């Protein structure tokens, strides 16, 4: 399927809680996206590398350790350094409300916290990517 959007789901940092990432990966797959899951314990550089190698349209970062203010912006920065400015970066996990506007300012477009439904994520991403593709 040529029109399929490709999404990287990534686990930056050292926490091992991947149930959420896996559920999102499956939900996106079921919604017709092509999903690449990085596995645990990725550095921001590895995630940037994977996203570029896989020619992904978006990358979703899942993090529960509290290191989001450090690691999420480094992924955005890395993508920009490699000229991959069109890749949509979003995230999820245990992220305090106060940090969300700061992350958005750093280029993480949307944060989904506990309680977000998979349908919300699918809907947002579909709309965001169809806009990006100029559909």
Does 17 sit near other proteins (CB under 8 A)?
A: no
- Which of 15, 27, 34, 107 forms a contact with other proteins (CB under 8 A)? 34
| Nearest distance, CB of residue 54 and other proteins, angstroms | 7
| 79 lies in the site for other proteins, by CB under 8 A | no
Minimum Å gap between C-beta 38 and other proteins is 10
Q: Give the whole-angstrom CA distance, residue 127 versus residue 132.
A: 9
CB under 8 A, 24+ apart: contacts of 98-104:
99/68, 99/69, 102/69, 103/68, 103/69, 103/72, 103/73
Report in angstroms how near the CB of residue 124 gets to other proteins at its nearest.
Answer: 21
Q: Are 27 and 118 in contact (CB under 8 A)?
A: yes
Residue 26 found at the interface with other proteins (CB under 8 A)? yes
Task: Copy the structure tokens of residue 2.
Answer: 């040529």
Minimum separation from the CB atom of position 11 to other proteins (A): 12
- Any contact of residue 22 with other proteins (CB under 8 A)? yes
| Residue 112 touches other proteins, criterion: CB under 8 A | no
Site for other proteins contains 29 (CB under 8 A): yes
Binding site for other proteins (CB under 8 A): 19, 22, 25-26, 29, 34-37, 54
């Amino acid at each position: 399927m040529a029109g399929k959007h490709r999404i990287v789901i990534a686990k930056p940092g050292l926490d091992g809680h991947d149930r959420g990432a896996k559920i999102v990966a499956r939900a996106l797959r079921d919604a017709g996206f092509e999903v690449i899951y990085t596995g645990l314990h990725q550095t921001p550089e590895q995630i940037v590398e994977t996203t570029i190698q896989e020619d992904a349209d978006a990358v979703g970062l899942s993090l529960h350790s509290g290191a989001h203010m450090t690691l999420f912006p480094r992924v955005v920065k890395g993508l920009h350094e490699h000229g991959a400015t069109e890749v949509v970066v979003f995230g999820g996990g245990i992220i305090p409300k106060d940090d969300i506007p700061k992350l958005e300012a750093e280029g993480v477009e949307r944060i989904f916290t506990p309680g977000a439904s998979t349908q919300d994520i699918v809907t947002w991403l579909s709309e965001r990517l169809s806009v990006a593709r100029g559909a």
